[in-house]
Amino acid sequence: MIAITLTPEDPQLAELVGSLEFMSSKMMPHTYQAFKRAVALVQYTWKCYAAGADMGGGMKLKRPTGAYARSIKTRFYAPFNYEVFSDSKVAKFLEEGTKEFDMKKTHPFGKRSRVTKKGQGYLIIPFRHGAPGSVYYPPLPEQVYKQIKAIAKQADFKLASRAQGKKYSPNYKGEMIPRARYKRGTPITGLGDENLEGLMVVNIGATPKEKRSAAVTFRVISENSPAFKWIRPAMPGMHITKHVVENTQDAVKDLIETGLKKDMGIA
């Protein structure tokens, strides 16, 4: 879990707030409201950064996810003791960074893995590509995007789509896993990029009649994949909470100071 405890950076102010530990919100109503506004500010700022907002100096998440932003919550311990936290694995990875990781040692043997007739584990991984300018998926180059749209309009082109029902097949451990059924579409080749070879346009509409599509490539990772492939490089930590604290501490201090002064009659 990654957490921010709402404590003023100023030592004297922090000591004064610490002395409020056994006081009720009714005894210090303005300070209590100041804490509530301050914790809301910290949570909002963190959510904004998780959604891709600039943290300062042009630093921001390249691929923000709604799940990370939604994981940022508040916890109440006492009237003057709050915490903003996230128990998302993504939050921990982004905060602390990750070591180099060989995906071949885990992914072909996981819950969603599949197994060949020879008993070898593998996993099919879909990669979605976004329109030019997309922040949620790796954006396609403008020219390639236009090329894909033109090909998809051809009379004999077929969209891939999800079929009704599920099918069951074993994973590497022999567990029968329910899997979605798909109708295969026309693979697109010759786009000039190895990573896009075999790309399919998939209908992701809520109903079969709703035509809302996405560009997706499917890749297979197996225990027999080449040694140099599927190595996730080490990623340095972004220390997002540090930026949250640095960019909100002045406002938090002002809020709490104002609340204290009002409650002590010196405002």
Q: Model confidence over 56-66: pLDDT tens digits?
A: 988 999 888 78
pTM over 0.85: no
Question: pLDDT tens-digit profile of 227-260?
Answer: 999 999 999 999 999 999 999 999 999 999 999 9
Please write down the HEC assignment for all residues of the chain: CEEEECCCCCHHHHHHHHCCCCCCCCCCHHHHHHHHHHHHHHHHHHHHHHCCCCCCCCCCCCCCCHHHHHCCEEEEEECCEEEEEECCHHHHHHHHEECCEEHHHCHHHCCCCEECCCCCEEEEEEEEEECCCCCCCCECCHHHHHHHHHHHCCCCCCCEEEEEEEEEEECCCCCEEEEEEEECCCCECCCCCHHHCCEEEEECCCCCCCCCEEEEEEEEEECCCCCCCCEECCEECCCHHHHHHHHHHHHHHHHHHHHHHHHCCCC
Q: What is the mean pLDDT of residues 123-128?
A: 95
Share of the chain above pLDDT 90, in %: 69
Question: pLDDT tens-digit profile of 183-240?
Answer: 999 999 999 999 999 999 998 877 667 778 899 999 999 999 999 999 999 999 999 9
The reported pLDDT for the residue numbered 169 is 95
The reported pLDDT for the residue numbered 267 is 62
Question: pLDDT tens-digit profile of 79-124?
Answer: 888 899 999 999 999 999 999 999 999 999 999 999 999 999 999 9
